[in-house]
Amino acid sequence: MNEKLSLLGGDPVRKQPFAPWPVFDDRERTALEDVLCSGNWGGSPSPNRKAAELAARFAAIHDTLFAIPTSSGTAALEVALKALGVGPGDEVIVPALTYHATAYAVVACMARPVFADVCLDTACIDPDSAARLITSRTRAIIPVHYGAAIADLDALAELARSRSLAIVEDCCEAVGAQWRGRGVGSYGALGCFSFQSLKSLTAGEGGMITTSDHVLAQRCQALINGRRRLGDDCAESLLGANYRITEWQCAVLLAQLERLPAQNELRWKHAERLRAALERIPGLTPTAADPRTTRPATYVWFFKVNASVLNVSRNLFALALMAEGIPCSIGDEPVFRSPLFPLESREYRTVCELAGAAPDRSACRCPVAERLYDHELLGLPHQCLLGEEQDLDDVITAIEKVAANARTLQRAKLGLLWRALERFWHEHEFLLPLEIVLERARCYRRCIDGHRAECRVHLLMKKAVDAMVR
């Protein structure tokens, strides 16, 4: 394939957007009208009418006895840890590659997050790395099911059992997935889910906690509701808050839940076709597919770019792929490096002092996570996998085109590259959501070395961001 890359002045493979997200129809409208006419809109009593229905259906899908709706995935993680009694001076092991909310939830409990490295083939937490980090202060491990992969729940369950630790599964990116025929969120003491706007099951915001432990379920309910429910036999004094979900959100989620099985199946069908295509391209490697994952769920479909084989950096590959009309991202920055989780914050310094640890990066040794983020990992959002076969054809064609022209891309002169980049932003800046603009800005800033290039990136990104917010 010798077509000229769009980034260097050629025609892009794709000029139209992918399937819109979120998906909705009259089912959501009818459910919302039902809530409107009921006059019962909020989260009290907790769980309310639709919240109770949602909880029952969600627990059944994930093979747990209980599901407790809450206001967000972040709130779910915080409440789950507090229900386990995690508090000041404790430590909780989290993967370095995850959205910063996983670590924030630990800090919200006044405990110290300890960052474990990840597995090179899945980008999920490495059980061996986690084992090396266990101390007398460790209370729990939070494996994150990342992108389209499920963490090694067999190894983690054995580790937790042998060291008397709790597992809290972060399933925010894995709604509906199964491991060995059982739903994620059922292997740990608790599981936590997110219904944020971009997730594969969404109501804009919202979260869920799953468990089969009667006592933990009541503790979570009390923490979410700000008080013990009438009729509960949990006699503990718990300081809770209002983390309740509204009936509006539950109405939307009940309708969305009807589509989830078919959507997950379609995403995985297309993901497997994409996997087969990439395995034929030297220098591109999909993240591993574990046969123990018996019902997959895809949030971001990751693959790795080998710069030494392709003779082009992952960042420049991503830039060219986006110019071909294919949205992609480089994933989450290691939390301990992320500006969203400042190690110099008072809160983080305080939890480190309570745990007798230094509040700096000296203890954060996660070379695999940094390697994946800095050089290799590239992901496609789940919306790319929800369309027709022709949509997937475009994705595969674009990837093949960029890979085939990698040497030309690497030799491109800086001026030509910048003219192409400016043209791309001129055409697309009004079409992209702000969060995507900001995410891509981070990727672009790393694409080209040199102070002048860095300054030009900032100016270009400022122009795009200003266009989005004015």
Could you read off the pLDDT of 245-275 as tens digits, one per residue? Answer: 999 999 999 999 999 999 999 999 999 999 9
Query: Considering Cα of 458, then 459, then 460, then 465, what sign does the dihedral take?
Result: positive
The conformation of residue 61, written as its DSSP 8-state character, comes to H
- Which of 176, 251, 167 has its CA nearest to residue 211? 167
Query: Looking at residue 238, what is its pLDDT?
Result: 84
The neighbour count for residue 413, using CB atoms within 10 Å, is: 9
Query: Which has more confidence, 459 or 102?
Result: 102
Does position 212 have pLDDT exceeding 60, yes or no? yes
Task: Give the whole-angstrom CA distance, residue 71 versus residue 174.
Answer: 18
- Which residue ranges does the chain devote to CATH 3.40.640.10? 26-256+342-351
Measured in whole angstroms, how far is the alpha carbon of residue 329 from the centre of its chain?
12
> Mean of the pLDDT values across residues 392-401?
98
The CATH architecture annotation of domain 26-256+342-351 reads 3-Layer(aba) Sandwich (3.40)
pTM of this prediction?
A: 0.88
pLDDT at res. 434: 45
Residue 2 clears pLDDT 80, i.e. is over it: no
Closest Cα partner for 95 from 126, 128, 74?
126
What is the average pLDDT value for the chain, to the nearest integer? Answer: 89
| Averaged pLDDT for residues 81-105 | 98
Q: Tens digit of pLDDT for each residue in 342-387?
A: 999 999 999 999 999 988 887 799 999 999 999 999 999 999 999 9
List phi, psi (to 5°) of 6: -60, -35
pLDDT for 360: 82
